[in-house]
Amino acid sequence: MTTPRTYVIVGGVAGGMSTATRLRRLDENARIIVIERGEHVSFANCGLPYHVGGVIDDRSALILQTPESLGARFALDVRVRTEAVAIDREARTVTVRALDSGDEQSLSYDALVLSPGASPLRIPIPGVERGLVLRDIADMDRIIDAATDAHRVVVAGAGFIGLELAENLRHRGLDVAVVEMLPQVLRPFDAEMAHIVAQRLRANGVELHLGTALSGIEPDHVVLDGGAATLPADLVVLSVGVRPESGLARDAGLDLDARGYIVVDAHQRTSDPAIFAVGDAVVKQRFDGDPSPVWLAGLANRHGRLAADAIAGRPHAAVPALGTAVIGLFGLTAAAVGRTERELRDEGREIRVIHTHPTDHAGYYPGAEQLSLKLIVNAGTDAILGAQAVGGGADKRIDIIATAMAGGIPARGLADLELAYAPQFGSAKDPVNMLGYVDDNLIDGEQSVQWHELASRMAEGWKLVDVRTADENALGAIPGSELITLDSLREHAERLRGERVIVTCKVGQRGHTAAALLRQYGVTVANLDGGYTTWRAGTAAVSTP
Ligand code: FAD
């Protein structure tokens, strides 16, 4: 019999515990030791905001496993309240310290796996120690305690966790204000898509202070923009980003990137072949663009499995991370995958952008909700670079597009996907198929104009024609547009011959028909992508802050 191998895993939550349990399934004889600094392993960090709001009523439901249950099922030696403090790479040992007794022990390893995660950033502002953060169960308990006597909360940071907390603190009946440095909520979305989310938050009583910096925390208020304003607050939660917990790796001389994230190869191996790393502390290969961190539970779990596979001698390479993410806020779903238009334009990339606003299922079937969809495509290759969805069925559409991206299906190919349909679930032409049809039309030479390009086109002399009905137009129209309804467009087509015309409707669909008609009358024509709906969201987004 061969000598059993010893594997030490630092960090006992998402990535670490996936590695440990997979290793056990692959190697019954190994000694597997999991070192966790906190009190709990395998807890559901993604569920923490929902216990704050009482949506998940039972606190113990968040603790998925205990050291005892993991010992019984997987024969893991799980040590909580124990910290890994040093690695001796030559000797292949890791020093661990029991936090309660202070006792230290040196553990030998054949392979060491680091999954230490990332800790919430504390920005250097006066009074920052008064702010609470949310990463683990103890943090959650502190927030719940503080919320019990609080009336007015300020959440700093409008990212996923900050907004989930804002929603749940509203559920507790507190007044909630969110302060965010960027001019929008949710950075993985473009401004016009994020605006829909912002509107839902405001409609549910969340006060948004966008484009605003938190500059100090006092006992009963916060200071904004270096003293320009204050907001009352008897509880402040900071959710302004994270930093990798890579100190152990740095001290051991492992390669880190410029931001301090651990560098690994496609098998999660660090610059030391006996040390692997996974999860939030690791820089990820991206589907498009430079390696960068991605803080998602799915990736931590997936890469934990890959690390175990590599250690057990059956390596599978990681596929690039797409950054597929979803959030639900006050009944509104918002999901995104890949790159944003903002990032790609900043990089000077040639892209095509498509906005649509269908319903999530057949409009005649009860309960249909609006879904706003955005697709971003490489103009040269037709590769899908990103997508965003807000509204009914957003999660399903983004998952389909993420799958298409992973499979290398080009944007035009979305038209050909055969998706399940009955009226309560979708449309015979699913919103995802429709994106493919629009892309197909653009490839074939149809022109579109984005909401943020409209003003400059009009300044260049393009005429804007609104083809909606007079009633729709009366409810709100783009300044400078002329109303010519779609049904009367033929009568005016001759007059427009030789002109440069942008057509607009509510969502872009009637504009497409209008553009096809005018083109045949010798008009140079472009359709306002996403119509009045996208234009209104985009212009409102840039003017709101
Ligand atoms: P973690 O799960 O953070 O585990 C790291 C562990 O390592 C920690 O418990 C830490 O105590 C321990 N540790 C660190 N250093 C040491 C050391 N030296 N010795 C011993 N132990 C150490 N992702 C999603 O995809 N969807 C979501 O909805 C979602 N919601 C979230 C909500 C919240 C409130 C939070 C905090 C995160 C959420 N995430 C979500 C992110 C997701 O939880 C992380 O991407 C994932 O947990 C990362 O796994 P990890 O193993 O790298 O780190």
Tell me the per-residue pLDDT of 428-457, one tens digit each, with 9 for 90 and over: 999 999 999 999 999 999 999 999 999 999
What strands, in cross-sheet order, belong to the sheet with 104-108? Answer: 82-88, 93-98, 104-108
Helix axes 431-443, 394-406, angle to 10 degrees: 50
pLDDT, position 1: 61
Distance 506 CA to ligand 1 centre (A): 43
> For ligand 1, atom 3, which residue shows the shortest CA distance?
117
- Ligand 1 atom 49: the closest Cα is on which residue? 14
Percent of the chain with pLDDT over 70: 99
Ligand 1 center from residue 297 Cα (angstroms): 8
Digit-coded pLDDT (tens) for 488-541: 999 999 999 999 999 999 999 999 999 999 999 999 999 999 999 999 999 999
Span from the CA of 148 to the centroid of ligand 1 (angstroms) = 26
Q: Mind listing the pLDDT tens digit for each residue in 133-190? A: 999 999 999 999 999 999 999 999 999 999 999 999 999 999 999 999 999 999 999 9
**Cα(48)–Cα(52) distance, rounded to whole angstroms?**
7
Nearest CA to ligand 1 atom 42: 297
pLDDT of residue 289: 84
Are 348 and 341 within 8 A, CB to CB?
Answer: no
Name which residue sits closest to atom 12 of ligand 1, judged by CA.
11
Task: Give 396 Cα–ligand 1 centroid separation in angstroms.
Answer: 25
Multiple choice CATH, 128-240, 3.10.580.10, 3.40.1190.20, 3.40.50.1360, 3.50.50.60? 3.50.50.60
Record the pTM: 0.96
pLDDT in tens, 363-395: 999 999 999 999 999 999 999 999 999 999 999
Closest protein CA for atom 28 of ligand 1: 46
CB atoms within 10 A of CB 42: 23
Find where tokens 């496993």 sit.
65
Nearest atom (ligand 1) to Cα of 278: 52
**How close is the Cα of 280 to the center of ligand 1, in Å?**
7
For 204-236, how does the pLDDT look when each residue is reduced to its tens digit (9 = 90+)?
999 999 999 999 999 999 999 999 999 999 999
In ligand 1, which atom is closest to the CA atom of 18?
51
Ligand 1 pocket (Cβ < 6 Å) reads 10-11, 13-16, 35-38, 45-46, 48-49, 83-84, 115-117, 134-135, 161, 245, 248, 279-281, 295-298, 300
Ligand 1: residue whose CA is nearest its atom 18: 84
333: enclosing H helix or E strand: strand 332-338
Which regions of the chain carry the CATH code 3.50.50.60? Answer: 6-118+243-311, 128-240, 331-444
**What's the pLDDT score for residue 543?**
80
**Please, which pLDDT band fits residue 2 given cuts at 50, 70 and 90?**
confident
Average pLDDT over the chain, rounded to whole? 97
As a whole number, mean pLDDT of residues 465-475 equals 97
Amino acid at the residue 120: P
Please tell me the distance between residue 106's alpha carbon and the centre of ligand 1 in angstroms.
Answer: 25
What is the token pair recorded at 414? 């979305």
Quickly name the fold that domain 331-444 has: FAD/NAD(P)-binding domain (3.50.50)
CATH 3.50.50.60 fits 6-118+243-311, yes or no: yes
Q: What is the pLDDT of residue 426?
A: 93
Rounded CA Rg of the chain: 27
Q: Which residue, among 365, 507, 375, has the nearest Cα to 425 in the 3D structure? A: 365
Residue of 13, 161, 283 to test ligand 1 pocket, by largest number of atoms within 8 Å of CB: 13
Cβ 181 vs Cβ 168: under 8 Å: no
Where does the pLDDT of residue 545 fall: very low under 50, low under 70, confident under 90, or very high at 90 and above? very low
Q: Residue 384 C-alpha to ligand 1 middle, in angstroms?
A: 30
| Residue 380 CB contacts under 8 Å (≥ 6 apart), including other chains | 350
Strands (E), 429-530: 447-449, 463-466, 481-483, 500-504, 524-528
Q: Do β-strands 242-244 and 118-120 pair in parallel, antiparallel, or remain unpaired?
A: antiparallel
Partners of residue 406 on adjacent β-strands: none
CATH 3.40.250.10 residue window(s) in the chain = 448-543
Q: How far is the CA of 110 from the centre of ligand 1 (A)?
A: 25
Instruction: Look at the block and give the residue holding tokens 């966008």.
Output: 210
Protein residue with least CA distance to atom 27, ligand 1? 46
Q: How far is the CA of 28 from the centre of ligand 1 (A)?
A: 27
Distance 59 CA to ligand 1 centre (A): 18
* Chain centre to alpha carbon of residue 20: 27
For domain 448-543, the question of CATH label 3.40.250.10 is answered with: yes
CB-neighbour burial class of residue 327 (10 A; exposed 0-12, middle 13-18, buried 19+) = buried
User: Whose C-alpha lies nearest to ligand 1, atom 1?
Assistant: 117
